[in-house]
Structure 1
Amino acid sequence: MSNYHYYPGIADNEFIRGDIPMTKQEIRIQVLAKARIAKGDTIIDIGAGTGSLSIEAALQSQTGAVFAIERETEGIELIKANAQRFGTPAVSAILGSAPEAMAALPQADVILIGGSGGKLSAILAEADRLLKVGGRLVITAITVETLHGALQELKKRNYPSEACGIQVSRIRSVGASHMFQALNPIYIISATKEEG
């Protein structure tokens, strides 16, 4: 996309998509706000899906690196295709599951967790090892159990955290009328790593 000017919240239809779940625009905007990505930041995106968040993180970081971990081969191909489409060569697609796929990664300023595959505790332990002091951790959850588990794990690790639930409804045309269509509600948990 030559002459592309970036603004947070790229439209969903601008991404190359397949059958892999994608974080929707309105949720991406909130996650990016919580992540507070600065120029040069290193970001790890766990459960990257189509790479929509990875791409936006790379565009915000500009000179930093983004490591997009995804366990589905189709997802890896979509991440690579979208990285090329948006001119973000700093996005490295990593095929594998966390926490194992995190083992060789460098220290990070921001870690995004969009999918845990039931291994949230182990992923957070590895995230704690990789996250720099002052680094931000943002978790998106679609189940109450993941929300509860994330809050409990962060409390055990003494991470100050906050959480919110977001319900987005989009308007769509139905003949000559319009109606709202609800997207799945999402919980966003954000935390910062402090000294000690």
Structure 2
Amino acid sequence: MTYHVGISDDRFIRGNIPMTKAEIRILVLARAKINPGDTVIDIGAGTGSLSVEAALQSGYGEVYAIEREPEGIELIRQNAAQFAAAVRPIAGAAPQALQGLPQADVILIGGSGGKLDAILTEARQLLKPGGRLVVTAVTVETLQRALAFLDSCPEFSVETICAQVTRLRKVASSHMMQALNPIYIIAAEAE
């Protein structure tokens, strides 16, 4: 199967679990700089859309998808199988669910359940030298907390963007622009 980054959203099984949209996945993956063989941890994996694309990029690497919602774990399994992506779903809430995982080249944080500082502390310990950490945030409070934490870590160089995606949708015989929620993407690279 040929893989092209930014798999169409409609190809994923969704359920009632939030999913990172294709345009945002593309930006996150660009910041994550996943190489073949990389070990990736996706925290708050939701439907597994980002985990699947990370696994397709890492090839023979390992991808762990941490998700606390049972429906999400099932969706991760289904989506990984659908794309023949080697994703290992881990049921549980971070940071506890990170116990026993190997050192990672890339850690993605898309959901924190209000435990962002504890998750970032654990992620910092799990990240290999030269590793990349990418946090997505939909609220300014999460953005502020992530930046405050990462700015206190001298080993990280941090870059942040805010992405706003608007899609064209057909409405009867006309076309209308429909905005998706803006999202902050905080990328930190360990030196």
TM-score by length of 2: 0.98
- Give the counterpart of 1:116 among 108, 112, 117: 112
- Give the counterpart of 2:138 among 126, 137, 142: 142
AA partner of residue 33 (structure 1):
A
Matched residue count: 190
Residue of structure 1 in register with 2:147 after alignment: 151
Residue of structure 2 in register with 1:65 after alignment: 62
Partners of 1:23 and 1:5 in 2: CA distance: 21
AA partner of residue 94 (structure 1):
I
Following superposition, the deviation at residue 5 of structure 1 comes to 1.5
Residue of structure 2 in register with 1:54 after alignment: 51
Following superposition, the deviation at residue 193 of structure 1 comes to 1.1
Query: 1:92-111 to 2 correspondence within 5 Å?
Result: 92-111=88-107
AA partner of residue 72 (structure 1):
E
Residue of structure 1 in register with 2:184 after alignment: 187
Q: Which runs of 5 or more structure 2 residues have no equivalent in the other structure? A: none
Q: Which runs of 5 or more structure 1 residues have no equivalent in the other structure? A: none
Partners of 2:185 and 2:53 in 1: CA distance: 17
Secondary structure in 1 matching 2:121: helix
Following superposition, the deviation at residue 173 of structure 1 comes to 0.4
The RMSD of aligned alpha carbons is 0.6
AA partner of residue 12 (structure 2):
F
Runs of 4+ in 1 over 3 A off after TM superposition: none
Following superposition, the deviation at residue 101 of structure 1 comes to 0.3
Identical pairs, percent: 65
Secondary structure in 2 matching 1:84: helix
AA partner of residue 152 (structure 1):
A
AA partner of residue 38 (structure 1):
N
- Give the counterpart of 2:19 among 18, 22, 25: 22
Query: How far does the alpha carbon of each residue in 1:1-50 deviate from its partner, in whole angstroms, 9 at most, with x for none?
Result: xxx32100000000111000000000000000000000000000000000
Query: How far does the alpha carbon of each residue in 1:60-86 deviate from its partner, in whole angstroms, 9 at most, with x for none?
Result: 000000000000000000000001000
- Give the counterpart of 1:132 among 115, 128, 134: 128
TM-score by length of 1: 0.96
Secondary structure in 1 matching 2:34: coil
Partners of 2:190 and 2:100 in 1: CA distance: 20
- Give the counterpart of 1:34 among 31, 46, 69: 31
Following superposition, the deviation at residue 160 of structure 1 comes to 1.2
Partners of 1:118 and 1:157 in 2: CA distance: 20
Following superposition, the deviation at residue 157 of structure 1 comes to 1.4
Following superposition, the deviation at residue 151 of structure 1 comes to 0.5
Following superposition, the deviation at residue 150 of structure 1 comes to 0.3
AA partner of residue 65 (structure 2):
A
Partners of 1:63 and 1:135 in 2: CA distance: 18
Secondary structure in 1 matching 2:175: strand
